[in-house]
């Protein structure tokens, strides 16, 4: 898989929300399962990869998380597999941080589109909780996380108000 992160919207695709953080995906032989399409575990891996790329760009990468002693851990994932991806398909995945309570919880949305026909293949939501890296227990978000989440949310909300 090749990935090429972009922190801007591509106007040729009809995203569910404006201004997604983008990652290109190429479906290769290793992604294909016995049913002849990309395996569902690949979609989850792509979601994880774009999430890490996105948090790096908003100033909440792993180095910051280690420094703060906490990280955002997934506590719930909902995935709607709408259509299949096949070997050779060029895809584009978008993600947004959609909500944050500025204390403990945040939410992220995902959408995956096949470039050739602009068909949406996946929509997903993840819920996160801030955890203490040493104790593995929920903890209050540090100010740096609160600010990073708010910047990410403001990016798409400000565009949607134009």
For domain 5-160, which CATH number applies: 1.10.260.40, 3.40.50.720, 3.40.1010.20, 3.10.129.10?
Answer: 3.10.129.10
Residue 66: pLDDT over 70: yes
* Residue closest to 20 by CA, chosen among 134, 131, 124: 124
Residue 9: pLDDT over 70: no
27-42 residue pLDDT tens = 999 999 999 999 999 9
CA 63 to chain centre: 19
How many Å apart are CA 142 and CA 129, to the nearest integer?
12
pTM score over 0.85: yes
Q: How confident is the model at residue 70 (pLDDT cuts 50, 70, 90)?
A: very high
74-90 residue pLDDT tens = 999 999 999 999 999 99
92-114 residue pLDDT tens = 999 999 999 999 999 999 999 99
Q: How confident is the model at residue 160 (pLDDT cuts 50, 70, 90)?
A: low
At 156 the pLDDT is: 87
* Residue closest to 104 by CA, chosen among 61, 56, 71, 62: 71
At 79 the pLDDT is: 98
SS3 assignment, position 130: strand
């Amino acid at each position: 898989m090749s990935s090429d992160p972009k922190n801007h919207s591509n106007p040729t695709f009809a995203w569910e929300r404006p201004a997604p953080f983008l990652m290109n995906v190429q479906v290769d032989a290793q992604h294909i399962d016995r049913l002849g399409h990309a395996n569902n575990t690949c979609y989850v891996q792509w979601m994880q990869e774009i999430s890490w790329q996105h948090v790096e760009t908003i100033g909440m990468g792993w180095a910051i998380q280690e420094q703060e002693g906490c990280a955002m851990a997934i506590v719930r994932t909902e995935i709607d597999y709408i259509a299949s991806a096949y070997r050779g398909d060029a895809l584009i995945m978008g993600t947004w941080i959609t909500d944050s309570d500025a204390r403990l919880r945040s939410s992220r949305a995902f959408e995956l589109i096949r470039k050739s026909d602009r068909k949406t293949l996946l929509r997903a939501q993840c819920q996160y909780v801030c955890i203490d890296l040493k104790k593995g227990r929920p903890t209050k978000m540090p100010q740096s996380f609160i600010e990073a989440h708010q910047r990410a949310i403001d990016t798409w909300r400000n565009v949607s108000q134009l």
